[in-house]
Amino acid sequence: MKRKPSTEATAAWIRLMRIQGSVLDAVEQDLKKAGFPPLAWYDALLELSRAPSGEMRPVELEKQMLIPQYSTSRLIDRLVDEGLAARRECKIDKRGQFVEITEAGRELQKKMWSAYSAAIEKHFGSKLSDADALKLCGLLDRLGCSCDEAPALAPREGAPTR
């Protein structure tokens, strides 16, 4: 009788957990050493900068980033504190609000992308051929939870994370 998670699946699981962790760690360390804030900030700024008018509802941001509501709320707090984003009132729904990226926010996002993309290349891209990367995409996509799956996985620039 076959084992429930096959030996192969278990081996792949272990690697997925370990390798992702160490590669992400290496990238975040590079960013931190370059004096940049955490990647979550980048992800948020990227999403905001992509929004048609540079602003979006916290709920939207939350869905895009796959992070819990309170986490979004506090992340926005920090961005606002640093002048990277601003809260705008939402006239059509007084419970809510809009968050708008500032000029400083756009600039930081761009600067971070320089460092971030370099780190991705160094710790990840340089170790795979494009063909390998495509294979990896294919395999990982098969794991995509039936659930949401962030809509616009950006064929453009900048890589959101997590």
Q: Contact residues for its own copies (CB under 8 A)?
A: 4-24, 26, 66, 117-118, 120-121, 123-125, 127-128, 130-137, 139-145, 147, 150, 153-155, 159-162
| DSSP per-residue letters across the chain | ---SS-HHHHHHHHHHHHHHHHHHHHHHHHHHHTT---HHHHHHHHHHHHSTTSEE-HHHHHHHHT--HHHHHHHHHHHHHTTSEEEEE-TT-TT-EEEEE-HHHHHHHHHHHHHHHHHHHHHTGGGS-HHHHHHHHHHHHTT--SS---S---SSS-----
Closest approach, Cβ 28 to its own copies, in A, equals 11
- Nearer CB in complex with its own copies: 96/152: 152
Instruction: Report d(CA 50, CA 45) in Å as an integer.
Output: 8
Of the ranges 1-9, 56-64, 109-117, 139-147, which one interacts with DNA (CB under 7 A)?
Answer: 56-64
Q: How far is the CB of 92 from its own copies (least distance, A)?
A: 31
Q: Closer to its own copies by CB, 15 or 33: give it.
A: 15
* Binding partner of residue 19 among DNA, its own copies, none, CB cut-off 5 to 8 Å per kind: its own copies
23 vs 104 by CB, closer to its own copies: 23
- Can you give the binding site for DNA, defined by CB under 7 A? 32, 40, 57-59, 62, 67-71, 73-78, 87, 90, 93-97
